[in-house]
Amino acid sequence: MNPVIEFKSVNIRYPGNSENTISDASFHVHPDERVALFGLNGSGKTTLLLAAVGLVPFTGSISIDGMPVEKKNFQKTRERTGFLFNIPEDQILFPHVLDDVAYGLIRKGTFPKAAHKKAMSVLAALGVSDIAECSPFQLSHGQRQRIALAGALVTDPSVLLLDEPSSALDPRGKLSLADLLCAIASSILIATHDVDFASRTCNRFLVLCENGLREFHNCRDAERYLLGSISAESHSEIPH
Amino acid sequence: MKDVFTFWGCGKGPLKYLHAHIRILSGILLVGSCLLIPLKSVIGIVFISVAATCWCILAAMPGKMLIRCAIVSLILFFPFLLLTPWMTIGSSTMISMTDRIAQAGTIALRSICCLFIAASTIAVLAIQDVHRGLAYIPIPRTFVVLIVQLIHQTMLLTEETLRIIQVLRLRGASGVRGIRVLFSFPIVWMVRMLFRAERTAAAMTVRGYGIEAIMTDKSIQLTIADVLTIIGVSAFFVASVLMRLRIIA
């Protein structure tokens, strides 16, 4: 089975920095797989996600849905990707919730009525259909996060890249989001610090640290590794 | 500053029940009329005053907001009256004080009427209606996208600024000791705004934001109130154009 997300020897260095933020990162995500990406603050989790949609320059190769992430393919790869930024307000671009969620579909040529209907169903699945006619400025941070997520989910993308999707959610919201993500047929890469949410949602776990990327099949092992209680040698490197 | 958020849609008058695009279009036409109408005759002054008053009554803005609008207009336009003794009309400086007061007064009246009409229009327009309202007005889509983003981003920046102000208050940025913190405010503010702009641009890129953002259903049915309002306002606009062109007195 071909991977849907594939990173091969990816290096990322921000202008002005003497060292790479990401060095030689290689991993893949298969269809219907949900992978959590752990890492300490500043380890480069968000950078890795941004690179996957071509927002950060990198060396090496990244492919989304079999398509290399490069300038000529940016539009196509982005159309297949649902992206949730870690600050949800940044990606809400309309002063009306339903219009914002429906935008992804309208852009693809869906008629407004059908787009709004689908947007309503996604909002309902996230438990926020009652705020569909509101302005984002009337809403809490958690509600905004769900709206941003709804905007990412509405197009049924083959790839979902989520940056801290549970950071502003209450316990009930986290549970329902985890169930929802488990039910959808997208390959998901989640950058998170929320171990409980990740263990409920994901079936593979990556830890991004100074030694590079490490792969785990158990969330608690990944957490322990991150905390430094398990030596790096006892775990397998991800095959390139 | 919080009024920026509460002002939108705070009006409770009958204008609120019109379609969003009719409200916006009527507001624009009324402001246009106020700018065009000549105020050299009493009829012009009566016209403009009655139009602004009627629009304010029909919007039924809360008293608190009306007072705030009055204060703002006083701050903005009172200086015109203070400058009256030095005012010149055309190339002539040898004019009577009455003419000067009339000239300054008409500038102030015109500006105040425009401000109240604009404020009343915003008061009957919830922020979530702006996008759909503008989409139905026959203006270029690029322009609509720009206006919508201008309003949306201004609101976001205001929200961000409010958060910074709250932090400054919480951390004791008041009194003499607070002056040092206040000096750092513009730097903190600017950096945050720049980062936000960068992140929003990234989000727009990923979401493919463009003129497709303007969506209309086409299946909108105007009510009798909509039709009557737009006819009335259009008639007023035409009358003001004719008065400006001196076709009618």
CATH of the domain at A212: 3.40.50.300
**Model pLDDT, residue B177:** 65
In terms of domains, do A76 and A165 share one?
A: yes
Number of structural domains chain A divides into:
2
Residues A26 and A37 in one domain: yes
Residue A130 belongs to a domain: yes
Last residue of a domain, one of A131, A156, A181: A156
**Whole-number Å distance between alpha carbons of A81 and B206:** 9
User: Are both A127 and A192 inside the same structural domain?
Assistant: no
Residues in chain A: 240
Residue A37 structural domain: 1-80+159-231
**Residue A236 included in any domain:** no
Nearest residue in chain A measured CA to CA from B126? A135
Gap between the Cα atoms of A234 and A108, Å rounded: 47
Identify which of A50, A91, A134 has the shortest CB distance to residue B207.
Answer: A91
Q: Do B128 and A81 touch (CB under 8 A)?
A: no
Domain boundary among A107, A138, A156: A156
Q: Is residue A76 part of a domain?
A: yes
Interface predicted TM-score (ipTM): 0.79
Nearest-Cα residue of chain B relative to residue A113: B217
- Residue B215 C-alpha, separation from nearest chain A C-alpha, in angstroms: 7
Window 8-27 of B: residues touching A by CB (8 A cutoff) are 8
pLDDT tens, residue order, chain B (249 aa): 666 778 888 999 999 999 999 999 999 999 999 999 998 888 889 999 999 999 999 999 999 999 999 999 999 888 878 877 777 766 666 677 787 888 888 888 999 999 999 999 999 998 888 888 888 888 888 888 888 889 888 888 888 888 888 777 777 666 666 677 777 778 888 888 888 888 889 999 888 887 766 666 667 788 999 999 999 999 999 999 998 888 776
The secondary structure element, H or E, covering residue A58 is: none
For residue A234, is pLDDT > 60?
Answer: no
Are residue A193 and residue A218 in the same domain, yes or no?
A: yes
Q: What is the pLDDT of residues A90-146, one digit of tens each?
A: 889 888 899 899 988 988 888 888 999 999 999 999 889 999 999 888 888 889 999
Residue from A56, A83, A93 whose CB has the most chain B CBs within 10 Å, to mutate: A93
Residue contact A78–B208, C-beta within 8 A: yes
Residue A238: inside a domain:
no
What angle in degrees, to the nearest 10, is found between the helix axes of B127-135 and A97-107? 40
Q: Output DSSP code: residue A206.
A: E
Asked whether residue A148 falls in the same domain as residue A178, the answer is no
Largest CA distance in chain A: 56
**pLDDT of B161:** 85
pLDDT in tens, A155-201: 999 999 999 999 888 898 899 889 989 988 889 999 999 999 999 99
pLDDT at B192: 85
CA distance A82 to A152: 4
pLDDT of residue A233: 46
A97 and A60 both lie in a single domain = no
Based on the domain organization, do A56 and A112 belong to the same domain?
A: no
* Coil, strand or helix at A24: strand
Mean pLDDT, all residues of chain A: 88
Suggest the residue from A49, A96, A164 to mutate for an interface test with chain B (most B CBs closer than 10 A): A96
pLDDT score of B87: 73
What are the chain A neighbours of B132 within 8 Å (beta carbons)? Answer: 96, 99
Query: Are A183 and A121 contained in the same domain?
Result: no
- Helix, coil or strand: residue B13: coil
Domain boundary pick from A156, A177, A208: A156
Same domain, A32 and A53: yes
Chain B, 177 to 196: residues with Cβ < 8 Å from chain A are 196
Same domain for A74 and A123?
Answer: no
What digits encode the pLDDT tens for the residues A109-122? Answer: 888 889 999 999 99
Query: What is the average per-residue pLDDT within A214-233?
Result: 78
Whole-number pLDDT of residue A42: 86
Higher pLDDT, A211 or A201: A201
Question: Nearest C-alpha of chain A: how many angstroms from B21?
Answer: 15
Q: What global pTM score does this model have?
A: 0.81
Considering the domain architecture, whether residues A30 and A74 belong to the same structural domain is answered as: yes
Is residue A230's pLDDT more than 60?
Answer: no
Same domain, A115 and A225: no
Q: Quick check: is A6 in a domain?
A: yes
